[in-house]
């Protein structure tokens, strides 16, 4: 009983791991949403094409600056710091992050001819939600899950998780609305998001729209450090 009460009141501490602000030399744009200040790192300003990036639950997006600057010189890159992450104010919740993603997307859409969307781990839920109701060019999902609800059900089988869990990120329910070319990256040795959750999501995509790449000898954290990851990403986004 106590475990269920603890899980209910502290559940978001299991989903979100806010990162501290890291000093960097890149331009940072502030989006004012619901009286909160959302900090977005902007790389390679002024290009016609853009990439909008939603990170993992404990990822500091500032660590991606050099890789994206080097690999995508012809794209403007937007690295989003969620609410309470990397100097952004507010509280991270599913509802808030969806709202912020939509707002930022609509603002930057006026500046660019096209926008590709990348989501990693937790960010795949946000990217999938955005792609299901916005006009993007291409979608990339790195180590995605079908839903946090399904993952939590398996981890806590003795609790009525469907009624306890506030932030469920049901990506699997949105796949049918995604009509854009999609690339999914899987880590060969992923212990955080087990392959069965990713494969549940994969099954729902229209095959003609989907490309799946498994990066050998990688885990949930180091997949994006491999040369093959950026090679496949650049080929897909050409």
> Does residue 37 belong to any structural domain of this protein?
yes
**Count of domains for the chain:** 1
Residue 122 CA to residue 143 CA, distance in Å, equals 9
Is a pLDDT exceeding 90 seen at residue 1?
no
Backbone phi and psi for residue 40, each to the nearest 5 degrees, phi listed first: -125, 125
Is 118 part of any domain?
A: yes
**Which residues have CB under 8 Å from 161's CB, separation 6+?**
149, 152, 153
pLDDT tens per residue, range 66-114: 999 999 999 999 999 999 999 999 999 999 999 999 999 999 999 999 9
Note whether residue 41 is domain-resident: yes
Nearest in space to 164 (alpha carbons), one of 58, 18, 16, 12: 12
CATH number at residue 204: 3.40.50.1820
* Positive/negative CA dihedral, 198, 199, 203, 205: positive
Assigned domain for 113 exists: yes
Summarize pLDDT for 138-156 with one digit per residue, the tens. Answer: 999 999 999 999 999 998 8
Contact 184, 202 (CB under 8 A): yes
Query: Which among 187, 231, 218, 236 is positioned nearest to 71, based on CA atoms?
Result: 231
Domain that holds residue 196: 2-19+29-237
- Name the 3-class secondary structure at 31: strand
Q: Residue 183: name the closest of 150, 226, 230 by CA.
A: 230
Distance (Å) of CA 202 to CA 27, 120, 175, 207? 36, 15, 9, 9
Q: Is the residue at 228 inside a domain? A: yes
**pTM listed for this prediction:** 0.96
Q: Does 68 map to a domain? A: yes
- What local confidence, expressed as pLDDT, does residue 49 receive? 98
* 135 pLDDT above the threshold of 60: yes
Q: Nearest 5 degrees, angle CA 162-CA 163-CA 168?
A: 50
Confidence of residue 51 (pLDDT cuts 50, 70, 90): very high
> pLDDT digit string (tens) for 14-36?
899 999 999 999 999 999 999 99
Residue 24: inside a domain:
no
Residue 180, pLDDT above cutoff 90: yes
- 185 in a domain, yes or no? yes
């Amino acid at each position: 009983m106590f475990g269920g009460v603890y899980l209910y009141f502290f559940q978001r501490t299991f989903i979100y791991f806010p990162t501290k602000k890291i000093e960097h030399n890149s331009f940072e744009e502030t989006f004012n949403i619901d009286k909160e200040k959302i900090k977005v790192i902007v790389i390679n300003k002024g290009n016609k094409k853009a990439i909008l990036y939603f990170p993992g639950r404990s990822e500091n997006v500032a660590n991606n600056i050099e890789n994206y600057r080097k690999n995508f010189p012809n794209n403007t890159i937007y690295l989003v710091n969620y609410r309470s992450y990397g100097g952004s104010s507010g509280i991270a919740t599913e509802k808030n992050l969806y709202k912020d993603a939509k707002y930022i997307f609509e603002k930057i859409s006026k500046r660019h001819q096209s926008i590709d969307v990348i989501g990693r781990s937790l960010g795949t839920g946000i990217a999938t939600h955005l792609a299901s109701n916005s006009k993007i060019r291409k979608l990339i999902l790195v180590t995605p899950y079908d839903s946090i609800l399904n993952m939590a059900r398996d981890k806590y089988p003795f609790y009525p998780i469907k009624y306890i869990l506030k932030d469920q990120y049901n990506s699997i329910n949105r796949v049918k609305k995604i009509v854009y070319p999609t690339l999914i990256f899987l880590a060969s040795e992923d212990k955080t998001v087990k392959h069965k959750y990713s494969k549940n999501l994969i099954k729902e995509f229209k095959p003609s729209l989907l490309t799946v790449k498994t990066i050998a000898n990688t885990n949930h954290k180091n997949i994006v450090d491999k040369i093959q990851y950026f090679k496949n990403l650049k080929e897909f986004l050409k």
